[in-house]
């Protein structure tokens, strides 16, 4: 069973450990190395609140999707590094944008080296790739405008890609559509991120 450890204070004296079976069918919870609870995936989907021995309130909720997300909070605050943590989720979007940006740049490089004839949108794919990376960084800092720009740019990029990318790279279009679906949920995490940071 996969297992993950989280430190709840700077001194690293309070430790929460989670272990789970494939697909989160079963989740085991340990606090300071002592077993606290064992819950099923169905219970986690409904949301579970557990009181720890020191009175802290632990909350877990599982959201099933293409990439399942397990939200874990202590006394109403996200635990750093957990999948439901807004900081973690926005950082993942940044990583997605780095990957997508590099893919765009490599495709443009391939087109240039192979001498493919393309439309007058030459070099747009690489330029968009660079912009993706810059916008992704801003999203990781809780910038909702940057996230909106990424989504609009992805739509434009898909149109440009259909005109400029050789058929051999058609799988890239599918990847971009998948990324778009994942990125859309970023608005929720930006809102949570800014609330936790005390911003409006």
Are 114 and 53 contained in the same domain? no
Residue at a domain's end among 46, 78, 110: 78
pLDDT at 159: 78
pLDDT at 183: 86
Residue 23 is encoded by which pair of tokens? 């697909």
Query: How far is CA 91 from each of CA 39, 87, 110, 114, rounded to the nearest angstrom?
Result: 28, 6, 29, 35
What is the distance between the alpha carbons of residues 173 and 187, in angstroms, rounded to a whole number?
23
> How many domains would you assign to the chain?
2
| C-alpha 183: how far from chain center | 8
Are 139 and 68 contained in the same domain? no
pLDDT at 119: 52
* 8 A C-beta contact, residue 50 and residue 36: yes
pLDDT at 200: 42
pLDDT at 15: 92
Structure-token match 């790739």, residue found: 129
Render 17-66 in DSSP notation, one character per residue. EEEE-GGGSEEEEEETTEEEEEEEHHHHHH-EEEE-TTSPEEEEEEE-SS
Low-confidence ranges of the chain (pLDDT < 70): 66, 114-123, 161, 163-170, 199-200
Are 106 and 188 contained in the same domain? yes
Are 90 and 68 contained in the same domain? no
What is the distance between the alpha carbons of residues 141 and 94, in angstroms, rounded to a whole number?
10
Residue at a domain's end among 54, 78, 102: 78
Are 7 and 29 contained in the same domain? yes
Domain hosting 95: range is 86-197
Nearest partner of 61 among 93, 18, 9, 103, judged by Cα: 18
Are 26 and 69 contained in the same domain? yes
What secondary structure, in 3-state letters, does 21-33 show? Answer: CHHHCEEEEEECC
Residue 15 is encoded by which pair of tokens? 């430790």
Are 34 and 103 contained in the same domain? no
Are 143 and 169 contained in the same domain? yes
> For strand 57-63 and strand 69-74, is the pairing parallel, antiparallel, or unpaired?
antiparallel
pLDDT at 135: 96
pLDDT at 166: 55
Which CATH number is 45's domain given?
2.40.128.180
pLDDT at 11: 85
Are 179 and 90 contained in the same domain? yes
What is the distance between the alpha carbons of residues 187 and 93, in angstroms, rounded to a whole number?
11
pLDDT at 86: 93
* 8 A C-beta contact, residue 94 and residue 137: yes
Are 45 and 131 contained in the same domain? no
């Amino acid at each position: 069973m996969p297992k993950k450890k989280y430190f709840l204070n700077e001194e690293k004296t309070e430790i929460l450990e989670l272990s789970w079976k494939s697909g989160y069918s079963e989740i085991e919870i340990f606090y300071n190395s002592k077993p606290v609870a064992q819950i099923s995936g169905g219970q986690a989907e409904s949301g579970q609140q557990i009181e720890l021995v020191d009175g802290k309130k632990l909350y877990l909720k599982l959201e099933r999707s293409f990439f399942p997300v397990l939200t874990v909070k202590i006394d109403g605050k996200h635990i750093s590094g957990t999948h439901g943590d807004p900081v973690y989720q926005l950082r993942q979007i940044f990583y997605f944008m780095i990957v997508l940006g590099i893919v765009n740049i490599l495709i443009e490089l391939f087109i240039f080296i192979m001498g493919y004839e393309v439309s007058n949108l030459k070099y747009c794919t690489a330029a968009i790739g660079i912009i993706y990376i810059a916008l992704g960084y801003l999203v990781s800092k809780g910038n909702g405008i940057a996230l909106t720009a990424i989504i609009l740019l992805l739509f434009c990029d898909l149109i440009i890609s259909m005109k400029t990318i050789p058929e051999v790279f058609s799988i890239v279009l599918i990847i971009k559509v998948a990324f778009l679906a994942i990125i859309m949920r970023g608005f929720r995490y930006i809102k949570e991120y800014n609330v936790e940071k005390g911003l409006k």
